[in-house]
Amino acid sequence: MTLPVPTTGARRRPAPGNRRWLLLRAGGVVFVLWAAATITFFALRLVPGDPAEAILGGPGSQAGPEALDQVRREYGLDQPLVVQYLTYLGRLATGDLGQSYSLHKPVATAIGEQFGATLALALCSLALAWALACALAAWSVRGGRIAWAIGSGLELVAAAVPHFWLATVLILFFSITLGILPPVSVPGPLGIVLPALTLAIPLAGFLGQVMRESLLTAMESPFVTTARARGESEARIFWRHTLRHAAIPAVGLSGWAFGSLISGAVVVESVFARQGLGRSLLSAVQLRDVTLVTGIVLVVALAYTVMTLVTDLADRAIDPRVRAVPQ
Amino acid sequence: MSRLRGAVVRATAFRPTAAEAIAGVVLALLLVAALWPNLLAPGDPLAVSRAEAFRPPSPAHLFGTDESGRDIYTRVVHGAAESLRIGVLATAIGIGLATVLGFVAGLGPRWLDFGTTRLVEVLFAFPGLLLALLFIVVTGPGVLSSTIAVGLATAPGYARIIRSQVRRTAAAEFVEAARVLGRGRFWIITRHVLPNVTAALFVLATLGLGQAVIWVSSLSYLGLGAVPPAAEWGAMLAAGRTYIANFWWMTFFPGLAIVASAAAATVVGRGIQKRNRSAA
Amino acid sequence: MPSRRFSRPRAAVVVTAAVALLLAACSPGGGTPGEPSGEPVEGGTLTYASGDAEPSCLDPHVGGNYPQALIATQYLESLVSLDESGEVIPWLATEWQEGDDGLSWEFTLREDVQFTDGTPFDAEAVAANIAHVQDPATASSTGYLALAKIENVVAVEDHLVRLELSMPDSALLESLSQIWVAMESPKALERSQEENCAAPVGTGPFVVDEWERQDSVTLVRNDDYTSPPADVPADAGTGLPYLDTIVWRFIPDSASRYAALQSGEAQVIDNAQPDTIRSAESDEAIQELDAPRPGAANRIELNSGKAPFDDERVREAFVRSVNVDEGIESLFFGTAERSYSPLSSVEPLGLSLPELFTVDTDAAAALLDEAGWTERDADGYRVKDGKRLTLDFPVSTNQSIPAEQSLFEQIQADAKEAGFEVRLHPLDLSSWYGALAENDYDLVSAPYTKVGPDVLRVLYHSDSIEPAPSGYFANLAQVDDPALDDLLTRASATSDPDARQSLYEQAQRIILEGYHVLPLYDQQNHFLHSSTVQGLRAMPTVSTPTFAEAWLAS
Amino acid sequence: MSGPTEPVLSVQDLVVVFPDRRGERRVVDGVSFQVAAGECVAIVGESGSGKSVTARSIVGLAGEGARVTAAELTVAGQDVLSLSGRRLRRLRGGTVGLIAQDALVSLDPLRPVGREIGDTLALHTGLDAAGRRTRTIELLGRVGLPDAELRAGQRPGQLSGGQRQRALIAAGIAGEPRLVVADEPTTALDQPVQAGVLRLLGQLRDDGTGVLLISHDLSVVLGIADRVLVMTDGVVVEEGTPAEVFERPRHPYTRKLVAAVPAGRPRGTPLSDADGAPTAAVERRSCSGMTADKATEPTFDVLGADGATEPAFGDVLIEAAGLSRSFHVGGREIVAADDVSLSLRAGRTLGLVGESGSGKSTTARLLLGLERPDAGTVTVLGEPWIPLPEARRRPRRPLVGAVFQDALSSFDPRWTVGAVLADALTRGRTTRPGSVRGEIAELLDTVGLDPATATRRPLHLSGGQRQRVSVARALAADPRVLILDEPVSALDVSVQAQVLDLLDRLQRERNLAYLLITHDLGVALHMSDDIAVLQEGRIVASGPAATVFDEPAHPYVRQLRDAAPIAVRRAPGS
């Protein structure tokens, strides 16, 4: 045969019904988790030197022989690799992610304590990023050419700003110069503002850039002309028609965005001294707490996969074309 | 709105827009800085001058000096080589890996595509920095491992794009036209698919370069990448942050360099992308 | 990078010198109580922002490092304390008696003290605590070594306890003054380690209320607090502590930490950056508390155990070619004093020999020529037998503050002029230990908190070159000098103050004149606090601040 | 039909100028006309003639940056040019309803069509939500949508093309406008559907609404328009009743336009003055002359190897038997080809017609070996062709060439015309035109293009030029058969005429067998010797072009015939 290429666009993509789709996707989630677990398992084995020592923090941990023995027993390190692997999977299935040497507690517990804070931060940032991106788009679409140029310039710069630098600038401005926002996270809604803003601004830049492209296309779509021709005002056209179209590709990016927020949380949580997985992860990396690192990575992979599923659902909600079967 | 489109359409002509021209100049300067830093800043980026420590920007020290009296302008210029080398290397690793994955998935038999796509999906489930951190835990911190880590972490994203690009090209009508003319599979891949995807790869690399610089600098900031006194921008920024309360210029200028190069790479990349797209 | 000072796990021993610690005399402002203005105000919440890594366990018995000591000082108390002049004073023990053979000590305990869980403080409690520290399962390092000579604990009466030693230990009282062996509720100790780590129960002025990991520990007032150390005026005793709550936050980023202080989110921060200390001087709203830690000074050890530093001329050449003074001057903004002694400036027996460390690049060059490093390669580095004069310098990013790392960079630049290639390797703690264990270094800086000149024995006795089973060794300079060994052994066994002084002086002379170390400055321990914080002082034991008498002016 | 009364639209000396990089462009240059209530006026012109801009100027939507001036531009007595903001918006949708082409994109694809109609009602009537709903259903019923209630809740993507267009019309007339501007309302629709939409517009006109119909297709407006204006280059060149314009065109442009309409022209009649070929029209069956010989030298081996000789006129070159292919989409089976059998003969054209989705393209792809059939065989020159491993088919592929609908996307975007042709001529050995420059020039000459075209990229060519290059590429390999998949459907009428003439000439010169796939019955009838009608993958009628529609047995074929524009129905007799 020749190239196994799909034939034409219209025929290629089947659009299964909602339930089947959900089932398929759920199966995909399970698969991704299994594969992620496998990768982390082997990552653990790839750490050079004695895996027991690695679990206890590497050569610098100065772990005693008893401690090493205990770890070997606990993890079955004297067993064949296959047995170790199956044991590991079995433990995961029951929610046992192992014991963190640096925290003196089960990894699952440690993650449980931190997860909420990071999730809250990520979701707030996501919402904020969306709000910023939409607001900027709304302003620059209707503000004429200069506003358009300013808007896309702002997005460009925002997307190119490293989190840790932005955090510093925001602290200097809002906390030191203006003195209106706490420079470190405090309990209550006020404390999340700067961290969320730090995460949201670069993301808003990305979302905005993506939206801008599709916004242009949408603004020129014939249906906009139709809407104008029936007497709709520009504002209504933007909010009712074009924004929704522009949002579609960006919504598709939200899963990715969530992942990038978690990445960003590593930096931002440290700068703002905010509780969360990112900060735990960083200290775990610095202390070479391999069990904790793999545990966190795994849990984030789970959250991320679920988030992707959610955005796909949102995508289907916002864009009926995804699920519609053409007549 | 068509006036806006007009601006974009005009961008598709060869003549660059103002933004693209500026971005091009920035990239050209970066390139000069990376290859012949002494042309722009003849000084030694590591030259310590304690008496000159913490000087604010002035004609003598355009960007001021750092805690050891090193000239920040000189360091930023010389840092371009370091930062860009890391960025380019990371991008090259990421895109190289992604190209293999993308082509295997895009052109291989269905089962291979399935397997590769799932693999990419799994890798994609690890947010970038986390994948990088996982890698660093395994290999230990350092410039090389953080570079590889960033390359690895960005590969899944690229792989997806390349795969779809490969598939799109392979399904393009001109490929069918070639088949009708009796061209073989290998011929089509080498004459049509590869060149067309390569153009997209170049854009991807330009866009990715900016992000890679940011990523690597983030790892440096976290103390897992380049280390002082290396004039790497992220490391400079991290070192300068300690003094942010009193000496803003120590972080401002390296930060500006990162933002400017990332933004310039994006503008140029998108410019090329637009031209490609309009040609496609 | 957040600086994270570890007092050496396993190896660190904090032994208080028998002689007076002239804390106040040696460090202006250090350890003295803040000058209270007006009547103490009761109540209020104080936020303390720590730059140290968050402890993994709040019980300082477990492991035993400085971050633990900082927070544990607020809720745990020891049997004895030190006053400002370094004299041992009563705390939970009212009086004590050393047996004639030096092998047994009897402590009379306060009878009116209860742990905050209601358990009475008595002889059994002391026994349980010492047993807890000595239990291998506790994994105590610092406390374990401090109590190493205690063999047996006997509860003679309810409030009379006898400690039986394996050999005489004149530093026992100072050991017991350390927070790492503080008294905890025996009932609480019976809980699992995870629970005890989360909320140790002591007799101190505050109680651990809640620990939000990666965020903060909330300490609340111990309403039944009765047991301040003897140097607290008796009339203050009843109302202590004044504060209702302390929120102990972990803010590793120094810029954020200082911003938190400036904006009023935090009232006290530790690990203050030198430039902020300097700028705080002109800020009425911010005060400084400087409390240098006892023990060794911060210094760079020159590894004489392998080439090229096995040649004393090369060591001297290195020391003579680097300009440390100016670097300290500019990087530390006058907040750190150059040291010329292996010991902290708070150690009265410290010997300073500044003349050894004057910069003389000509002399350095001559010494290198003499040592055979005559040629220079294309990069300007000296070469001998085709080998470059390279020095590996692993730097622990957890232990060296940014200014110190900058100082090392400057040293690197100076050394380059002289023809040394210094390769800085900033490493995380684990890799850093690894590099040391593999003897993969020529230069290293390892802060060491330990009270008294006996620290010299740990650091420079040839026994300490021998790695412990864990791979760690304390004699990082790898000084192997029988004469020095002899001096140090005799000094630690001698109780005669004059003889001790002379022996330690000779020992330090050997260390300094052999160019085994390049002293830098005292272990920095700067705190910045809002001017509203009154009555804050550092404990004269290991310089941790205590909030027992602190209050917030309105 | 009521006679013209008070004009609802009056346009005097309309000028629309767009800023240009080199200054400005007059897109509409002094157009004047009137539309009375109950009258349908059609503006016909090719792309770029300014007809759409004229229509859109009426509702103040000429486009960003447009400068619109007119001696008079009034709608129902209101001066459009002096209106602004709110009042202009009241005019749009209220007084004037605009019906755009292709409702798939002209209705917001994300919203149910009922809401689009409801929006117009909300803007221009005082109805409350319930009232709007009822009215929406009524409107949908009025435009002939069955199951109006169901349809109101569906999105454009869920409706068929005709249903969508009806919904769009419903949205356009919801505000009960006095004037409806229909801008290419039937383009992209299959002919039976087209007819329905036109009837609906006719009904509107009969109800007293003024209708301004914009179309590129003369034959479309014939049945409905009261008056026709022919526009080119922003100027109205001819005005009159459809009969006048179509039968007695006065202006040369109109004449050209009318002549270009393939419908009703007998096979072989040139549709354009010249197809652009420099050589004089060659007589039919003069056959593989020198030009072809020279250009096709390399392929002689192939034929020789196959032992084939030059086929004579009428020889069967491709024989397809029982081709079947179905696809599984979303759990449903879609039959794209069902037992399709056909044969292509040298020098003859088989026209394959049918509405979109009937399987025309699949059949083409099956014949080209781009798609594997579920069942059936194809032979080429008597040798097996399908099923056959691609490797064995490949050497003989030059025998069967193809021309695609979208010429642009059938060229590698990075290649110049020269590269495309060099590649085709050298059978993939090189894309450098250097060694085969002569042949390339000859090929370009054959298809009526300047040899200088070789250095240009397809992107920068016009649609007609691109299609010519596409034909040149197909010819380069000296094929015996060409599969033409909608080769002219994306082209303007006059360009279409040129390309059709070119194809006709080439067939005569080279004795080629054509499979012509088209949705346009007029084109099919003009070009074909035989015609096959495809519906749902089946051939429901086939036979000589002259007779296949005479007494159709199959109801679909009848429907197709009846729906075709008048000219087609007149074809056999004219």
Calculate mean pLDDT across residues D464-468.
89
Backbone CA torsion sign across A285, A291, A295, A297: positive
Q: Which two tokens stand for residue C123?
A: 């002889």
Task: Give residue A18's pLDDT.
Answer: 67
What is the number of domains present in chain A?
1
Scanning C495-542, the segments in alpha helix (DSSP H) are 497-513
Whole-number Å distance between alpha carbons of A228 and B228: 60
pLDDT, tens digit, for every residue of B21-47? 898 999 899 889 888 888 888 888 888
Within an 8 Å CB–CB cutoff, is residue A288 touching chain C? yes
Which residue would you say has higher pLDDT here, D494 or D42?
D42
The three-state secondary structure class of C191 is coil
Whole-number Å distance between alpha carbons of B223 and C429: 12
Whole-number Å distance between alpha carbons of D542 and D557: 10
To the nearest whole Å, the CA of D572 is away from the closest chain A CA by 36
Identify all chain A residues contacting B262, using CB atoms and an 8 Å cutoff.
159-160
What is the band of A76 on the pLDDT scale with cuts at 50, 70, 90?
confident
Could you please state the CATH topology (level 3) that the domain comprising D316-409+481-569 is classified under. Rossmann fold (3.40.50)
Identify all chain C residues contacting A114, using CB atoms and an 8 Å cutoff.
213-214
pLDDT, tens digit, for every residue of D538-571? 888 888 887 887 777 788 888 777 776 554 444 4
Write out the residue range of the structural domain in which residue A267 sits.
110-323
**pLDDT higher than 60, residue D277:** no
pLDDT, tens digit, for every residue of C338-369? 999 999 888 778 899 999 999 999 999 999 99
pLDDT, tens digit, for every residue of B107-146? 888 888 888 888 887 887 777 788 888 888 778 777 888 8
> DSSP secondary structure string, D359-386?
SHHHHHHHHTTSS--SEEEEEETTEEEE
> DSSP secondary structure string, D239-293?
EE-HHHHHHS--SHHHHHHHHH--TTPPTT--SSS--S-SSPPPPTT--S-HHHH
The H or E element containing residue D180 is strand D179-183
User: Which of A46-50, A126-130, D151-155 is least confident?
Assistant: A46-50
Within an 8 Å CB–CB cutoff, is residue C334 touching chain A? no
User: Which of C5-19, C317-331, D164-178, D209-223 is least confident?
Assistant: C5-19
Q: Which of A230, A234, A315 to mutate to test the interface with D (most CBs of D within 10 A)?
A: A230
Question: Hey, are the CB atoms on D406 and B179 less than 8 Å from each other?
Answer: no
Q: What mean pLDDT is reported for chain A? A: 78
The pTM for the full model equals 0.78
Instruction: Give the domain CATH number at A271.
Output: 1.10.3720.10
Q: Structural domain boundaries of chain D? A: 7-260, 316-409+481-569
| AA letter at D371 | E
> DSSP secondary structure string, A148-164?
HHHHHHHHHHHHT--HH
Is A53 domain-assigned?
no
Task: Give residue A59's pLDDT.
Answer: 55
Q: What mean pLDDT is reported for chain D? A: 82
Task: Give residue D331's pLDDT.
Answer: 64
Largest CA distance in chain B: 76
Q: pLDDT over 70 for what percent of chain D?
A: 90
**Other residues' Cβ atoms within 10 Å of the Cβ of residue B200:** 21
Q: With a CB-CB cutoff of 8 Å, which residues 193-252 of chain B face chain A?
A: 210, 214, 217-218, 221-224, 234, 237-238, 241, 244-245, 248, 251
Residue that has been written with the tokens 């091009």 in this structure: B24
pLDDT tens per residue, chain C (554 residues)?
333 333 333 333 333 332 233 333 333 333 344 455 577 888 899 999 998 878 888 999 987 788 889 999 999 999 999 888 778 899 999 999 888 887 889 999 999 899 999 999 999 999 999 999 988 888 777 788 778 778 999 999 999 999 998 877 767 887 898 898 999 999 999 998 888 989 999 999 999 999 988 788 999 999 988 888 888 876 665 678 899 999 999 888 888 888 889 888 899 999 888 888 988 888 888 999 988 888 788 999 999 988 899 999 999 999 999 999 888 988 888 888 899 999 988 877 889 999 999 999 999 999 999 999 998 988 889 999 889 999 999 998 777 788 888 899 899 989 998 999 999 888 877 778 778 888 889 999 987 776 677 778 878 988 878 765 545 677 889 999 999 999 988 887 776 778 888 999 999 999 999 999 999 998 888 999 999 999 899 988 888 999 998 999 87
Question: Hey, are the CB atoms on D413 and B182 less than 8 Å from each other?
Answer: no
Whole-number Å distance between alpha carbons of C81 and C77: 9
Nearest one of B108, B136, B102 to B120, comparing CA atoms? B102
Q: List the single residue in C with minimal CA-CA distance to B55.
A: C330
Which chains border D (3 or more CB–CB pairs < 8 Å)?
A, B
User: Which of A197-211, C83-97, D157-171 is least confident?
Assistant: D157-171
> Is chain D adjacent to chain C, meaning 3+ CB pairs within 8 angstroms?
no
User: Which of A54-63, B257-266, C543-552, D410-419 is least confident?
Assistant: A54-63
Task: Give residue D284's pLDDT.
Answer: 37
Task: Give residue C469's pLDDT.
Answer: 52
Question: Hey, are the CB atoms on C262 and A176 less than 8 Å from each other?
Answer: yes
What is the band of D370 on the pLDDT scale with cuts at 50, 70, 90?
confident
Backbone CA torsion sign across C78, C83, C85, C89: negative
Whole-number Å distance between alpha carbons of C179 and C92: 12
Nearest one of C5, C26, C7, C3 to C179, comparing CA atoms? C7
Nearest one of B225, B146, B133 to A43, comparing CA atoms? B133
Is A56 domain-assigned?
no
Task: Give residue A321's pLDDT.
Answer: 64
**pLDDT higher than 80, residue D512:** yes
Pick the CATH number of D7-260 from 3.40.50.300, 3.30.1490.20, 2.20.25.10, 3.10.20.30: 3.40.50.300
**Judging by beta carbons within 10 Å of its beta carbon (0-12, 13-18, 19+), is residue C99 exposed, middle or buried?**
middle
Within an 8 Å CB–CB cutoff, is residue B112 touching chain A? no
Q: Which two tokens stand for residue D426?
A: 């050298």
Task: Give residue C353's pLDDT.
Answer: 92
To the nearest whole Å, the CA of A131 is away from the closest chain B CA by 22
Nearest one of D149, D147, D192, D197 to D173, comparing CA atoms? D197
Task: Give residue C199's pLDDT.
Answer: 92
Is A311 domain-assigned?
yes
Task: Give residue B25's pLDDT.
Answer: 92
Nearest to D412 among B1, B182, B192 (CB): B192
Calculate mean pLDDT across residues A79-94.
83
Is A4 domain-assigned?
no
Within an 8 Å CB–CB cutoff, is residue B279 touching chain D? yes
Q: pLDDT over 70 for what percent of chain A?
A: 86
Question: Hey, are the CB atoms on A164 and B134 less than 8 Å from each other?
Answer: no
Q: What mean pLDDT is reported for chain B? A: 82
Q: Output phi, psi for B155, to 5 deg.
A: -55, -45
Contact B80, B254 (CB under 8 A): no
Whole-number Å distance between alpha carbons of D291 and D508: 13
Contact B88, B154 (CB under 8 A): no
Q: Which of A1, A20, A226, A232 to mutate to test the interface with D (most CBs of D within 10 A)?
A: A226
User: Which of A117-121, B86-90, C443-447, D569-573 is least confident?
Assistant: D569-573
Q: With a CB-CB cutoff of 8 Å, which residues 190-249 of chain A face chain C?
A: none
What is the band of A61 on the pLDDT scale with cuts at 50, 70, 90?
low
What is the band of D381 on the pLDDT scale with cuts at 50, 70, 90?
confident
Is A234 domain-assigned?
yes
Q: List the single residue in C with minimal CA-CA distance to A280.
A: C214
Q: What are the CA-CA distances from residue D152 to residues D116, D145, D172, D175, D430 (Å)?
A: 9, 10, 15, 17, 57
Q: Which residues contact D20 (CB under 8 A, 6 or more apart)?
A: none
Q: Do domains D7-260 and D316-409+481-569 have the same CATH topology?
A: yes
